[in-house]
Homo-oligomer: A and B are copies of this chain.
Amino acid sequence: MTMTETLELVSANKCFGGWLKRYKHHARALDCEMTFSIYLPPQAEESKVPLLWWLSGLTCTDENFMQKAGAQRIAAELGIAIVCPDTSPRGLDLPGEHDSYDFGSGAGFYLNAKREPWARHYRMYDYVNDELPSVVRQHFPVNGRESISGHSMGGHGALVLALRQPGRFSSVSAFAPIVNPMDVPWGHKAFENYLGDERGDWRPYDACELVAKGASRQPLFIDQGEADQFLEEQLKPERLETVCKTHDHPLTLRRQPGYDHSYYFIATFIEDHLRYHAKYLMKR
A residues near B, CB below 8 A?
13-17, 20, 67-68, 70, 72-73, 225, 227, 258-260, 262-265, 267-268
- Are B14 and A259 in contact, with the CB atoms below 8 A? yes
- Are A15 and B68 in contact, with the CB atoms below 8 A? no
| Distance from A37 Cβ to chain B, minimum over Cβ atoms (Å) | 11
Residue among B14, B67, B73, B264 making CB contact with A265, cutoff 8 Å: B14
What residues of B have a CB within 8 angstroms of the CB of A67 in the complex? 67-68, 263
What residues of B have a CB within 8 angstroms of the CB of A225 in the complex? 14
- Are A267 and B14 in contact, with the CB atoms below 8 A? no
- Are A267 and B73 in contact, with the CB atoms below 8 A? yes
Question: How many copies of this chain does one complex carry?
Answer: 2
Residue of B nearest to A16 (CB): B268
CA distance A73 to B74 in the complex (A): 12
CA distance A20 to B268 in the complex (A): 12
What residues of B have a CB within 8 angstroms of the CB of A263 in the complex? 67
Extra A-B contacts (15), CB below 8 Å, given A13-B260, A14-B268:
A13-B262, A13-B264, A14-B225, A14-B227, A14-B258, A14-B260, A14-B264, A15-B264, A15-B265, A15-B267, A15-B268, A16-B268, A68-B68, A70-B70, A70-B73
What residues of B have a CB within 8 angstroms of the CB of A264 in the complex? 13-15, 20, 72
- Are A72 and B267 in contact, with the CB atoms below 8 A? yes
Residue among B227, B259, B262, B267 making CB contact with A70, cutoff 8 Å: B267
What residues of B have a CB within 8 angstroms of the CB of A260 in the complex? 13-14
What residues of B have a CB within 8 angstroms of the CB of A68 in the complex? 67-68
8 A-B pairs with the lowest CB-CB distances in the bound complex, closest first: A70-B70, A15-B264, A14-B258, A13-B264, A14-B259, A16-B268, A13-B262, A67-B68
| Interchain residue pairs with CB less than 8 A apart (19) | A13-B260, A13-B262, A13-B265, A14-B225, A14-B258, A14-B259, A14-B260, A14-B268, A15-B265, A15-B267, A15-B268, A16-B267, A16-B268, A17-B268, A20-B264, A67-B68, A70-B267, A73-B267, A73-B268
Residue of B nearest to A73 (CB): B70
| Distance from A256 Cβ to chain B, minimum over Cβ atoms (Å) | 8
CA distance A225 to B17 in the complex (A): 12
CA distance A16 to B16 in the complex (A): 20
| Distance from A209 Cβ to chain B, minimum over Cβ atoms (Å) | 32
| Distance from A116 Cβ to chain B, minimum over Cβ atoms (Å) | 38
CA distance A13 to B258 in the complex (A): 8
